[in-house]
Amino acid sequence: MSRLIRYVLPVLLSLLTLQVSAEEYVIKFSHVVAPGTPKGKAADLFAKLVNERLKGRVRVEVYPNSQLYNDNKVMEAMRLSDSRTTGIMAAPSLSKFVKFSRTIQAFDIPYLFNDIDDVHKLVDSPVMEKMTRPLERKGLKALSLWDNGMKVFSIRGDKPLRKVPDDFKGRKFRIQSSEVHAAMIRALGGVPQKLPFKEVYQALAQGVVDGQENAWSNIHSKKFYEVQDWITVSNHSYLGYMVVVSARFWNGLPEDIRKELTAILAEATEANRRFAAEADVADRRKIEAAGKAKVVELTPEELAQWRQATAGVEKQFERQIGKELLQEIHQLLGH
């Protein structure tokens, strides 16, 4: 009997090792926007490349339009997940991460970035790693940052948003869950209203809020322009998403799989930037062609008023974000 055990045991262990090494990992990628948006297209591309190159080892399933989770619930699901073989990945808007790392609020500061190139300077620098490091202690592994674009304002009514605070006074604006966004709306003269993304269209249509701020792709894909009269090209702040995954799941993956997933994600990120740049132009043109909401460009003088009105917001959050970090960002951007 003992001779049989000595013979069989190594064989069983060998088979078990082979089964574990051949095990398929599943990544459930949850997001809240439409598949045709820059984030949706990048998520689908990431899934396609992983499913082709790591077939039989890793499978990615994409769940758009809050089909699996909304952005708040998905992060809790990631933090609570203890599965070794099934991981949750998501790309929530940056404002959702503030409760885990207040340094992320820097991305919400109005007019911190002159354009999308400024954003990429920060994202591609070592400063970004410093800003996202606290997330891992909360069970989230930051992998990349995806663009949607610079944000513009829309409003319902008989006149566009041009003069501040006059054109904002008494008007309610939907914002993301961000204290910086709320402070910005108040600085411009308006009333901030936090609402989940999926409720925005109905809130605009029913007059629960008068206006909102968003990137062109979201305004088009969610048809906000159908229930708004004016869109002001303010380009006041950045709308981006952080691609995150359960830290426990990620750190438990074989090193070669992590390396390949990282490389594929870099390809998807590069494509996302291209998708976002294309959407900025194409979706704006589609909105203009629809003839429902009129697009208004700010004059240099009006833009200077907007900048001046919101200049105090950064100072208001300087302590939370970190004075030295903000100085480092300004130096990096050449301000």
More confident residue, 12 or 261: 261
User: What pLDDT was estimated at residue 286?
Assistant: 97
Q: Is the pLDDT of residue 72 over 90?
A: no
pLDDT digits 0-9 by tens, 190-249 = 999 999 888 999 999 999 999 999 999 999 999 999 999 999 999 999 999 999 999 999
Number of domains into which the chain is organized: 2
Is residue 182 located within the same domain as residue 51? no
**Same domain, yes or no: 295 and 180:** yes
**Does pLDDT of 86 surpass 80?**
yes
Do 90 and 170 reside in the same domain of the chain?
A: no
Q: Are residues 234 and 193 in the same domain?
A: yes
In a domain, 139, yes or no: yes
Question: E strand or H helix at 59, and its extent?
Answer: strand 58-63
- Please tell me whether residues 231 and 300 are part of one structural domain: yes
**CATH code of the domain covering residue 216:** 3.40.190.170
Q: Is 277 found in the same domain as 143? A: yes
The answer as to whether 120 is a domain residue is no
Are residues 67 and 194 part of one domain?
no
Asked which of 263, 282, 301 is the last residue of a domain, the reply is 282
Do 259 and 132 belong to one domain?
Answer: yes
Structural domain of 195: 152-238+283-333
pLDDT over 80 (residue 313): yes
Residue 225 within a domain: yes
- pLDDT for the residue 54: 98
pLDDT band at 17 (very low <50, low <70, confident <90, very high): very low
Does residue 134 surpass a pLDDT of 70? yes
- Mean of the pLDDT values across residues 117-133? 95
What pTM did the predictor assign? Answer: 0.86
Averaged pLDDT, 10-38:
72
Task: Say if residue 9's pLDDT is above 80.
Answer: no
**pLDDT > 90? residue 21:** no
DSSP code per residue over 279-322: HHHHHHHHHHHHTSSEEEEPPHHHHHHHHHHHTHHHHHHHHHH-
Residues with Cβ within 8 Å of 319's Cβ and at least 6 positions away in sequence, in order, are: none
Calpha distance 335→326 (Å, rounded): 11
